[in-house]
Structure 1
Amino acid sequence: MKDLSGKTALLTGASGGLGRYIASALAERGMNLSLAAYPGEGLESLKDTVTQKGGRVLILVANLRHGSELRRLVEQTNQEFGRIDVLVNNAGLEYTAAYHELAEENIPDIIGVNLEAPMLLTRLVLPAMLERRCGHIVNMSSLAGKSGPAFQEPYAATKAGLIAFTASLRATYRGTGVSASVICPGFVEAGIYAKLKRDTGCAAPALLGTSPPEPVARAVVRAIEHDLPEVIVNPLPVRPLFATATLFPRVGEFLIRQTGAHKFFGRVAEALKSRRRGG
């Protein structure tokens, strides 16, 4: 989709962390935006920021765990703009803890927001995209979906699911004018990692580093404009690491352990556990 000007994007998780930067990057391309987020997450201030860039903006408050609200997002966006050209599945939940210590409700909540909602929203927007022979789905995954870090079982599983979901979409709809991309950032100085660092004081491993949010937002735009299957955003090259892990799983497991990611999330889990206990 070379020219985004005048087209419409529906963006979930719009006001938190990465969402604000993605919204701004899409608006700079002249897109109309339907911005969805949970209640009370600063959508109105985001609307003012995006409107200054010249695009039309629709603000939608929604809980992505409810199918009826997903349908409402699509219906109201279509009513306002007449079409949805791009869907960016950005909303996400994360809970860092030893798996056996998770509350039962944590698991369906994470799966519901991170994987089920993107799949259901995609199903809702696909028919009109296929009829027009034009449309793009962007799924915001994570390097966690490629490496399976410790203390991140539900989150990592959903992010791995988004990677596979995207690959299947591309295979199914090849040649139809409709496509999909997946973005896999590492530790980003906004959103989930920024909150973990703020809450626990734990910093990302030096071997992996962190990325500012702007390159991630630009990666979304680039993926849409150039129909890229997958974009990894990380300050250090990690594709060779994941290629090695695919060819030699035991070696890959060792190398991933050496990055310090498992220890980082272990420290985060302990810090959060202590906070919950009031210690």
Structure 2
Amino acid sequence: MSLHGKVAIITGASAGIGREVARRLAQEHADVVLAARSVDRLNALAEELEAGGTRVLVVPTDVADPNDLVRLAEETVRKFHRIDILINNAGVECFRHFEHTETDDILQTIETNLTGAILLTRLIIPQMLQQKSGVIINMASTAGKHTPAFAGVYGATKAALIGFTQGLRGEFLKRGISATAVCPGFTRNGGIYDRIVEATGKRSPAVLGGTTTQAVANAVLKAIHGGAPEIIVNWPPVRPAIVLREVFPRLGELLTTAVSRRFTQRAADAATAEHVSSSEHAASTADASSAECESSARCTPEAESGSAVCSD
């Protein structure tokens, strides 16, 4: 189908996959709604796309905030009077030793990767039903098909997102609304892969495969035009490995874990060490500040800023 004049919402549009998808949609003459937390980067991308003649709406959005999601849906309909494509791309990635993962980190991962996508879809489905057409793209991950060690929470959100997509497809496909789960693996050009390499100085084994933001954007466009239930982006041997896990679970687990565990453990070690160091620094800073407070004051440590606030 032609995307000329179609209205597409992209969450997590300020960088990486989301930014590349926005560019590709603009090339196909769609109107794009850019949603993310980074206002400066959204505005920079909007200027780039508008210079090419694309109609753009910027809506600063934290997908973990239900009020932001309501505003995103309402402002889109107010400006463009329709919503044709929803790309739930916003997400956070976390490789860490599970016993060192804080409750707030777990909740943030679930709210950003899963709950936000579900709530935004729920807000937009009525508009698509009114139009009797629509496309929903959920950015899942190969981690949702086979979750590597040290990424249990992240993988769980992506597996749930795949299940959510399947449910949407079964319910709404005959009513004109398609849903596709796009599943990239390690993605270069901005993403967890680049951060792992930077933190560990090691690249992933070739057997784990890899892809780029451009390839993921191509997969999104393929899903929009073709309506496939699911697209695995990374090239072989990722796809055969996923099939092996499904057909021969124990053998597949042995082979994939043997290959991936060392790489993901390096990432978890680096992230955990950084987290522990940051927490210890915050605690020591808070203790030092506490000693300076008068005995009549109450001292509340603020770990995020590494400071302590003395209040009467």
Alignment of 1:185-196 (within 5 A): 185-189=184-188, 190-196=190-196
Percent identity between the aligned chains?
A: 41
Shift in alpha-carbon separation, 1:200–1:42, aligned structure 2, 3 A: farther
Amino acid at match of 1:275: E
Structure 2 residues without counterparts, runs of 5 or longer: 279-312
TM-score calculated relative to the size of structure 2:
0.85
Corresponding residue SS for 1:34: strand
Q: Which residue of 2 aligns with 1:180?
A: 179
Amino acid at match of 2:19: R
Q: Which residue of 2 aligns with 1:5?
A: 4
Contact 1:170 1:180 in 2 (8 A): yes
Q: Which residue of 1 aligns with 2:140?
A: 141
Q: Does 1:61 align with 2:67?
A: no
More displaced stretch, 82-91 vs 185-194: 185-194
Q: Does 1:28 align with 2:27?
A: yes
Contact 1:202 1:268 in 2 (8 A): no
More displaced stretch, 267-276 vs 162-171: 267-276
Alignment of 1:230-269 (within 5 A): 230-258=230-258, 260-269=259-268
Contact 2:173 2:179 in 1 (8 A): no
Corresponding residue SS for 1:42: helix
Q: Which residue of 1 aligns with 2:213?
A: 213
Q: Distance in 2 between matches of 1:231 and 1:66?
A: 29
Greater relative contact order (CA < 8 Å, ≥ 6 in sequence): 1
Contact 1:143 1:185 in 2 (8 A): yes
Q: Distance in 2 between matches of 1:156 and 1:82?
A: 36
Q: Which residue of 1 aligns with 2:303?
A: none
1:38-73: CA deviation from partner (whole Å, max 9, x where unpaired): 134511111122223321011111111111110000
Shift in Å, 1:277:
4.3
Shift in Å, 1:200:
3.4
Shift in Å, 1:278:
4.5
Q: Distance in 2 between matches of 1:239 and 1:36?
A: 31
Q: Which residue of 1 aligns with 2:309?
A: none
Contact 2:179 2:227 in 1 (8 A): yes
Task: Please identify the structure whose Cα radius of gyration is greater.
Answer: 2
1:118-153: CA deviation from partner (whole Å, max 9, x where unpaired): 001111110111121110100001111111101101
Shift in Å, 1:175:
1.3
More displaced stretch, 45-54 vs 221-230: 45-54
Q: Which residue of 2 aligns with 1:225?
A: 225
Q: Distance in 2 between matches of 1:39 and 1:185?
A: 23
Shift in alpha-carbon separation, 1:197–1:129, aligned structure 2, 3 A: same
Q: Give every structure 1 segment of 4 or more consecutive aligned residues whose post-TM-superposition deviation is greater than 4 Å.
A: none
Q: How many residues align?
A: 277
Q: Which residue of 2 aligns with 1:153?
A: 152
